[in-house]
Amino acid sequence: MYKYIIRRILVFIPMLFALTVMVFALAQAAPGDPFTGRMLDPTVNPEVYQQQREALGLNDPYPVQYMNWMKNILQGDFGNSIYYNGRSVLELISQRFANTLYLGLFSLTITLVVSIPIGIYSAKKPYSILDYATTGFGFLGLAIPNFFFGLIAIYIFAIHFGWFPSQGTVSSNDVTGFAELIDRLHHLVLPGITLGLAGTATYMRYMRSEVLDVLGSDYIRTAKAKGMSSNNVLYKHTLRNALIPIITLMGIEFGVLVSGAVITEQVFNFPGLGTLFLQSITNRDYPVIMSINLLFGVFILVGNLLADIFYCVVDPRIRYD
């Protein structure tokens, strides 16, 4: 098992390298640099911009730029934002990252708490009224675009009923301690549900079909023939097998935890990574774009790594290959 995990981590390294190349190449492939398309001060000599480009290393050949970038990253230096007057990218990102991570975790928690029990229940009673209802809800959840659902949620629950705030992460800086936690959670409800909607539908459908599949398998019949109670059959024999494909899904969703919120954050004016990402793209702030891209990529890779490791915890057939 450990051999497998070590091997899997070793594969992770070249993938990480490939990721940096991709991120760099994509940034270079985009036209323009931070100075193009800006309302430039006409009193400033264009020579100055040229000097700035030279100073920032934007005129170096690509391999040299890449090597410099990598060298800095390996030393923990993600460069400075060009748009935000040279504030460090790390500082910019870390401010927003926590917000996005809370949002992602909150949404994932809601997703799992809602979808897994419903999925199991629908599989236990297939073609029941509740099964049809959740199936209908599932398709609706998958079909409605995030931003649209977000707007409707704001209209109904924030404007009409006034139950939840429609934007931001906290009401004011005055609240502290436990009150702050409650306040922050209160702010997370609408964006969290909006972000988790599609995921909830997906997990629910997966869970239903997996449990249904496993319930029909031979070893479940064996467990029943052994005299195991229905609960034992469901929670011991069925669930562990049904969760194997769910782990794949979670591995992929782990990346979405941080990157999936780009649009939702916009709708709820949520100061997270997504908002920063979109701003940086508009401003052609390449150091920020590249760093966020890299972060998204790393999360997806780590998600897959974790999924693979969890596989071999759950499924003994994978361990000994």
Partner 1 sequence: MTNPAVLSVEDLKTYFYLENSNIAKAVDRVNFSIHPGETVALVGESGSGKSITSLSIMQLIDKPGKIVNGSIQLEGRELVQLSNRKMTKIRGKEVGMIFQEPMTALNPVYTIGNQIIEVLRKHKKISKKDARKQAIELLKTVGFPRAEATMKEYPHQLSGGMRQRVMIAIAISCEPKLLIADEPTTALDVTIQAQILDLINEMKKKFNMAVLLITHDLGVVAEYADRVLVMYGGQIVEQGTKRQLFKSAKHPYTNGLLESLPSLDQSSDRLGTIKGTVPAADNFPEGCRFSTRCPHVMEKCIKTNPDILSDDSGHGVRCFLYEEEEK
Give the interface with partner 1 as residue ranges (CB under 8 A). Answer: 217-219, 221-230, 237, 240-241, 314-317, 320
Residues 6+ apart with CB under 8 A from 215: 123, 124, 238
Q: CB nearer to partner 1: give 233 or 276.
A: 233
Minimum Å gap between C-beta 129 and partner 1 is 16
Residues 6+ apart with CB under 8 A from 317: none
Minimum Å gap between C-beta 78 and partner 1 is 42
Q: CB nearer to partner 1: give 38 or 226.
A: 226
CA–CA distance, 170 with 179 (Å, rounded to integer): 10
Q: What is the largest CA-CA distance in the chain?
A: 88
Residues 6+ apart with CB under 8 A from 235: none
Q: CB nearer to partner 1: give 4 or 157.
A: 4
Minimum Å gap between C-beta 234 and partner 1 is 13
Minimum Å gap between C-beta 2 and partner 1 is 17
Please name every residue paired with 80 in a beta bridge, in sequence order, or none if there are none. Answer: 88
Q: CB nearer to partner 1: give 8 or 224.
A: 224
Minimum Å gap between C-beta 74 and partner 1 is 41
Residue pair 311/241 in contact by the 8 Å Cβ criterion: no
CA–CA distance, 30 with 62 (Å, rounded to integer): 13
Q: CB nearer to partner 1: give 51 or 222.
A: 222
Q: CB nearer to partner 1: give 177 or 316.
A: 316
Minimum Å gap between C-beta 120 and partner 1 is 17
Residue pair 317/241 in contact by the 8 Å Cβ criterion: no
Measured at the alpha carbon of residue 220, what is the angle toward residues 253 and 315, in degrees to the nearest 5? 40
Using alpha carbons, list the distances in angstroms from residue 49 to 28, 55, 185, 186, 219.
19, 10, 46, 46, 71
Minimum Å gap between C-beta 115 and partner 1 is 22
Using alpha carbons, list the distances in angstroms from residue 250 to 38, 41, 85, 299.
41, 49, 38, 12
Q: CB nearer to partner 1: give 7 or 221.
A: 221
